[in-house]
Amino acid sequence: MDEIKEQIARGTLEAGAKIASIREMASFYAVNPNTVQRALLELEREGLISTKRAIGKTVTEDTKVVQELRENLAALTLENCLSSMEALGYNREETAGLFNRRMGSREWGVGNEER
């Protein structure tokens, strides 16, 4: 589920794209087809995929759903980053300062500001 969500968020799986079959996915991920079926049902409940007659399962074409997914994954990534920085002894203000300096550095391709 997580990998499919990331592929949708990144655009690797584009809106309307056909999803691989349950058997193909089960073989690729080396899991039971029932596990794949449950994961796909959950993705369908979340509105990320849908089942179309004679086509199969496809990625949602609802851009709001995809944008919400992207924002949720970004928030999770930021929270994980903050937790890692706190484990290194940085508080949130120090982390923000470091982030801002890095964003302004050439390494990020933004400009020549102080690192």
Domain of 50, CATH number, reads 1.10.10.10
- Kindly tell me the sign of the dihedral angle through the C-alpha atoms of 58, 64, 66, 69: negative
In a shared domain, residues 12 and 57: yes
Q: What is the pTM of this model?
A: 0.77
Q: Percentage of residues in the chain with pLDDT exceeding 70?
A: 91
Q: Which domain holds residue 93?
A: 65-108
Whether residue 15 has pLDDT greater than 70: yes
Residue 17 belongs to a domain: yes
Mean local confidence (pLDDT), 99-110: 73
In a shared domain, residues 36 and 8: yes
Whether residue 111 has pLDDT greater than 80: no
3-state secondary structure of 16: coil
Our separate counts of H helices and E strands in the chain read: 5, 2
27-78 pLDDT, tens digit per residue, is 999 999 999 999 999 999 999 999 999 889 999 999 999 999 999 999 999 9
In a shared domain, residues 52 and 74: no
From first CA to last CA, the distance across the chain in angstroms is: 38
| Domain tally, the chain | 2
